[in-house]
Amino acid sequence: MSTTAHPSAAPVRVAVLLGSLRQASVNRRLAELLRDQAPEGVEVEIVEGLGELPFYNEEVDTADAPAAVRRVREAVAAADRVIAVTPEYNGTMPAVLNNALDWLSRPYGQGAIVGKPFGVVGTTPTPYGGRWAHADAARSAGIAGAQVVEAVVVSQPGVGVDVLADDEVRTRLLDALRLLVDAQPAAAAA
């Protein structure tokens, strides 16, 4: 698949799971950059409402699950690809992202994230750029049934660089998005 879609082809839809709830967060702004500068033929949607999800509880995961759960599941189910854009909290992924992955993985083997190519990018104001959180998010998404695309990981240190203005950082992020879009879902690759 090429990131330049044929005019009549349906766009490739990428759902963004945002690990930061703060409206002015740098990671939200990185997600907006991906959305606003996505290649032709690619639609990037930031999935809103992760902070409204109750902590996963199988007793609540029924046919009348909370509306927030249904909205997030529907947004991810409608996407062709999923990318997490996240900082790192205390050496791991934020709880809001972990909880979203829990909801998206169920019902087991049939969750909204199952089989979808998945990548993770983000920044932190540390020399490591969120590497541990990104590894945790990729591992968790893979266990949840996503098809983790190993090459789609950008752990951008926020030390000594304005990640929102730096051309090299922007290129790395957009290249990661292109790699995710070009990844063939497991069922299609078989």
pLDDT of the residue at 108:
87
pLDDT of the residue at 149:
98
Cα-flanking dihedrals φ and ψ of residue 134, to 5°?
-70, -40
pLDDT of the residue at 189:
47
Joined tokens for residue 114: 């199952």
pLDDT of the residue at 8:
60
Summarised one tens digit per residue, pLDDT across range 57-81 is: 999 999 999 999 999 999 999 999 9
In the chain the domains, ranked by start, together with CATH numbers, are: 12-184 (3.40.50.360)
Q: Considering the chain, what percentage of its residues have pLDDT values greater than 70?
A: 94
Average pLDDT, the chain: 93
Q: Which of 90-94, 98-102, 162-166, 184-188 has the lowest mean pLDDT?
A: 184-188
Quick check: 178 pLDDT over 80? yes
Summarised one tens digit per residue, pLDDT across range 30-46 is: 999 999 999 999 999 99
Q: Considering the chain, what percentage of its residues have pLDDT values greater than 90?
A: 89
pLDDT of the residue at 187:
65
Q: How far is CA 116 from the centre of its chain?
A: 11
Q: How far apart, in whole angstroms, are the C-alpha atoms of residue 147 and residue 183?
A: 9
CB-based contact 47:81 (threshold 8 Å): no
Summarised one tens digit per residue, pLDDT across range 105-135 is: 999 889 999 999 999 999 999 899 999 999 9
Summarised one tens digit per residue, pLDDT across range 3-26 is: 554 456 899 999 999 999 999 999
pLDDT of the residue at 3:
52
**58: Cβ–Cβ under 8 A, 6 or more apart, which residues?**
106
pLDDT of the residue at 6:
46
Supply the angle between the helices 95-104 and 131-144 in degrees, to the nearest 10.
Answer: 10
